[in-house]
Copies of this chain bind each other. A is one copy, B any other.
């Protein structure tokens, strides 16, 4: 079982009445709903206004893959929590940042760049797959279309993705690296640009497929329990001579 936690800021839901029509159970509800249909996923939701912002240690430390949606309230996520989330990734957890989470604290911590971009609401987007052999592209055709998305345009200030999976074309003339993968520590990071709060993007079957694929891709492989730099006093050659070996990363 992959233990999935969907974290949502859950503020637009209160502030924008028309969101109710698109996402009656909130973005987290919509995400949890289709992810929950996968037999090998165990899905929880967590939101900013819950105790410990939805992420007490017992939740964080039992999460294999997290999804993160935030927008207007990035600043309300405490720095220590953002650090904890990022460190959990370095220790092995997978994380998927959705749309405006490009400006969330954990994403910025993990990228090391400004994550700036250009933006404009209400655009037609065509999402092209440029890496059809990538696990996140499984079942995705050459492109799929979103009648209305928020345009995010280059220059997107991110480290060059380890794997670029999707490029987004916008009718207004812009384009964007819309689906990007990175390794960070023992964990994996996927950023996916579609997902503005008032668009039915997360009801789109291709988007759902991408995110299901991404959870499986981001599943932890190995875990690490600390992030220190230990002195290796005894050379591993000497350890070898003594029949010893290293077991921890």
Contacts and interface: CB of A to CB of B under 8 A. Distances in A.
A23 interface: no
Interface stretch (A9-17, A27-35, A58-66, A234-242): A234-242
Interface string A40-51: 000000000000
Interface residues of A, number: 85
A56 interface: no
A19 interface: no
B112 A111 contact: yes
A196 to B, nearest CB: 14
A142 B154 contact: yes
A156 B247 CA distance: 15
Given A237-B172, A237-B173, A222 B132 contact: yes
Contacts of A153: 232, 236
Contacts of A145: 240, 245
A117 interface: yes
Interface in A196-246: 220-222, 224, 227-233, 235-240, 245-246
Contacts of A236: 126, 143, 153, 172-174
A78 interface: no
A169 interface: yes
Given A118-B230, A229-B116, A236-B174, A247 B142 contact: yes
Q: Which of A103, A240, A249 has the most CB of B within 10 A?
A: A249
B248 A142 contact: yes
Contacts of A187: 133
Q: Which of A131, A138, A238 has the most CB of B within 10 A?
A: A131
27 contacts: A90-B113, A110-B112, A113-B184, A120-B232, A120-B235, A128-B155, A129-B154, A129-B155, A130-B156, A132-B186, A133-B188, A133-B221, A137-B222, A138-B221, A142-B249, A144-B245, A153-B236, A159-B182, A160-B162, A162-B163, A167-B167, A167-B175, A169-B173, A173-B237, A173-B238, A174-B232, A174-B235
A114 B249 contact: no
Contacts of A123: 235
A195 interface: no
